[in-house]
């Protein structure tokens, strides 16, 4: 009733309009929408692109890329306005295409959006269209070519191998394989301490997140197929990932793309908490004050915010501080959405800002993501698994 009252003036105005105007208005109403949409079929969800492009940018104040760049075009709605012009072939040029990769995939926009839009998800379709049109910037193509050749984002620098079969499969992910081997070592120590029969994949490939993020959907499928096959061969019942992005890919995105993993997929924080609940493990006192940083993908895509806190709080002596922006209101580390590879300067600025916020609470930062830990390098920073094993090591001294 309220709604009818609200729009009564439209009916009133319409009834008083001459017939020729009415006919024109009806024609535009029925065909106008089509004229706003691109003629070709797009991977991008154009209705979302248009709604977001027309929005007064309600989430702009929380976009870390805009904050770092101080350029309105990099805001969520700013990117969508440019995306609309690209999709409708009204804008061409390297700057416009490069802008489509200036997103940290943090989903801060979705927290404020009346439509629940994730601009990073909308951008995946836009980038897939750029790929389909052969207009991908050279540096982005190089990331794909590197992955096709090497199967991981960087050179593998660790030599941690479990057996090929086991109840638990530890999926390491590119950042651990190349730069944060200490997290894998901590996890392996934990598996050994609790007597878990764990396996690793000998030729583990990238989970594919950079590929699907950057619009290379077909190559992503090839990677997903490989990993799913290897996970199946291991005979595992549970896959444990330290990286929230790997966990998100294996747990949700693979099945959305019809690559089903039968085993349960856990993030390491869920696995560590389950060990505590099963009383498989006991801790000695660990005198440490830290601040916990929520990784964007863990808290916003997987909804995991209590588990890492409970793990830390259950360690006697541990004091866990909360930063002002925490849980779903967390701030990005800067390296999400492959921004560390596509726009390292922006990623670095975002990381510095977050570090300054975190350090207001404590010098020691604990997180639950190898990529966040890498972004905060130079500080005293640990993954939860490193804190977990530190406490056990102390007991064994
Ligand atoms: S996902 Fe994050 S970086 Fe990307 S547009 Fe939204 S707020 Fe900005
Ligand atoms: S993501 Fe939502 S709130 Fe942000 S600009 Fe787009 S439509 Fe507006």
Encode pLDDT of 328-343 as tens digits. Answer: 999 999 999 999 999 9
Q: Are residues 311 and 360 in the same domain?
A: yes
Q: Are residues 103 and 21 in the same domain?
A: no
Q: Are residues 5 and 94 in the same domain?
A: no
Q: Which pLDDT belongs to residue 236?
A: 97
Mean pLDDT over 362-380 rounds to 97
Please choose from 53, 63, 74 the residue to mutate so as to test ligand 1's pocket, defined by most ligand atoms within 8 A of CB. Answer: 63
Is residue 109 within 6 Å of ligand 1 at its C-beta?
yes
Distance 58 CA to ligand 2 centre (A): 6
In a domain, 332, yes or no: yes
What is the atom index within ligand 2 of the atom nearest the CA of 110? 1
Encode pLDDT of 256-272 as tens digits. Answer: 999 999 999 999 999 99
Instruction: Please say if the pLDDT value at position 59 is more than 80.
Output: yes
In a domain, 227, yes or no: yes
Q: Which pLDDT belongs to residue 291?
A: 98
In a domain, 51, yes or no: yes
Instruction: Please say if the pLDDT value at position 389 is more than 60.
Output: yes
Distance 60 CA to ligand 1 centre (A): 9
Tokens found for residue 199? 């396996």
Tokens found for residue 108? 């801060």
Q: Are residues 94 and 179 in the same domain?
A: no
**242 to each of 180, 186, 187, 219, 344, how far by Cα in Å?**
11, 11, 8, 24, 23
Instruction: Please say if the pLDDT value at position 325 is more than 90.
Output: yes
Cα–Cα dist 315/325, whole Å: 24
In a domain, 132, yes or no: yes
Confidence of residue 396 (pLDDT cuts 50, 70, 90): very low
Q: Which protein residue's CA is at the shortest distance from atom 2 of ligand 2?
A: 113
Q: Are residues 292 and 391 in the same domain?
A: yes
Mean pLDDT over 297-324 rounds to 96
In a domain, 153, yes or no: no
Q: Which pLDDT belongs to residue 393?
A: 58
What is the atom index within ligand 1 of the atom nearest the CA of 76? 5
Instruction: Quickly list DSSP for 235-285.
Output: T-SEEEESSHHHHHIIIIIHHHTT----SEEEEHHHHHHHHHHTT------
**Domain that includes residue 70, residue range:** 37-136
* CATH code, 299: 3.40.50
């Amino acid at each position: 009733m309220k709604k009818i009252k609200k729009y009564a003036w439209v009916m009133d105005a319409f009834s008083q309009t001459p017939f020729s105007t009415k006919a024109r208005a009806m024609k535009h109403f029925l065909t106008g929408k089509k004229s706003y949409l691109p003629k070709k079929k797009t991977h991008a969800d154009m209705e979302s692109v248009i709604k977001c492009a027309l929005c007064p940018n309600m989430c702009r104040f929380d976009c870390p890329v805009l904050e770092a760049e101080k350029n309105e075009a990099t805001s969520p709605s700013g990117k969508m306005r440019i995306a609309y012009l690209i999709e409708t072939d009204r804008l061409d040029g390297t700057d416009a295409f490069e802008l489509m990769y200036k997103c940290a995939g943090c989903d801060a926009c979705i927290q404020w959006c009346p439509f629940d839009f994730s601009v990073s998800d909308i951008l995946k379709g836009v980038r897939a269209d750029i790929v389909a049109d052969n207009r991908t910037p050279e540096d982005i193509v190089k990331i794909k070519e590197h992955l096709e050749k090497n199967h991981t984002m960087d050179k593998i620098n660790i030599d941690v191998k479990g057996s090929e079969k086991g109840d638990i499969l530890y999926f390491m992910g590119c950042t651990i394989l190349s730069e944060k081997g200490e997290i894998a070592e901590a996890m392996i120590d934990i598996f050994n301490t609790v007597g878990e029969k764990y396996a690793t994949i000998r030729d583990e490939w990238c989970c594919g997140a950079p590929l699907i993020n950057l619009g290379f959907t077909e190559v992503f499928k090839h990677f997903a197929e490989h990993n799913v096959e290897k996970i199946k061969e291991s005979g595992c019942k549970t896959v444990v990932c330290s990286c929230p992005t790997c966990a998100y890919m294996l747990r949700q995105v693979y099945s959305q793309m019809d690559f089903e993993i039968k085993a349960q997929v856990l993030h390491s924080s869920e696995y560590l908490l389950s060990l505590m609940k099963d009383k498989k493990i006991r801790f000695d006192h660990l005198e440490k004050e830290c601040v916990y940083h929520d990784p964007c993908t863990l808290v916003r895509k997987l909804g995991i915010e209590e588990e890492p806190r409970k793990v830390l709080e259950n360690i006697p002596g541990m004091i866990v501080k909360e930063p002002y922006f925490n849980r779903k209101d967390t701030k990005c580390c800067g390296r999400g959405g492959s921004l560390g590879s596509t726009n390292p300067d922006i990623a670095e600025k975002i990381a510095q800002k977050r570090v300054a916020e975190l350090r207001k609470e404590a010098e020691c930062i604990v997180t639950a993501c190898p990529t966040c830990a890498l972004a905060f390098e130079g500080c005293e920073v640990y993954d939860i698994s490193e804190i977990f094993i530190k406490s056990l090591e102390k007991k064994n001294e």
